[in-house]
Amino acid sequence: MLRVMFFEPRIAGNTGSAIRLSAATGAELHLVEPLGFDLSEPKLRRAGLDYHDLAHVVVHPDLEAAFTACPGARVLAFTTQATRRHTDISYRPDDVLLFGPEPTGLPDHVLAHPRITAQVRIPMLPDRRSLNLSNCAAIASYEAWRQLGFDGAV
């Protein structure tokens, strides 16, 4: 099953939207602590609407625990610093799509982690800082799911 992983997310609404994405696609959502919000926060609940019970969300105390929970999986780190596009990847069902916190993206020590298989980017116009985190997760998840034949979709 495809996995979306947020490293130290800071904005409750983005994580709530990712919970809804998880419910809609069947992808697991992995959250790596520390989180910048409480999981019971109203903005998180509102963004996820009534999909919380349909999503598979796992919270990990740190990155090592998160990677341990995904043994053997490729970890694709999404960063504006990469040169390879997300559409150039041939996705596998057990891939981990790793995204960094909203204000900064993935830090260098995470990008240098030996579990990182590839660094990829989502194209955008020049002189733009970044896309919204939950939008990036949706763009990447749907491209991966499309390549995998939208398994289980109606």
pLDDT in tens, 94-144: 999 999 999 899 999 999 999 999 999 999 999 988 899 999 999 999 999
Question: CA-CA distances (angstroms) from residue 85 to 67, 88, 136?
Answer: 23, 5, 12
* Residue range 22-35: mean pLDDT, rounded: 96
Secondary-structure class of domain 3-147 per CATH: alpha beta
pLDDT of residue 53: 78
pLDDT of residue 41: 67
Residue 68 has pLDDT above 60, yes or no: yes
**Residue ranges per structural domain of the chain:** 3-147
pTM of the model: 0.94
Nearest-CA neighbor of 106 among 2, 3, 9?
9
pLDDT in tens, 29-63: 999 999 998 887 676 666 555 677 789 999 999 99
Amino acid at residue number 33: E
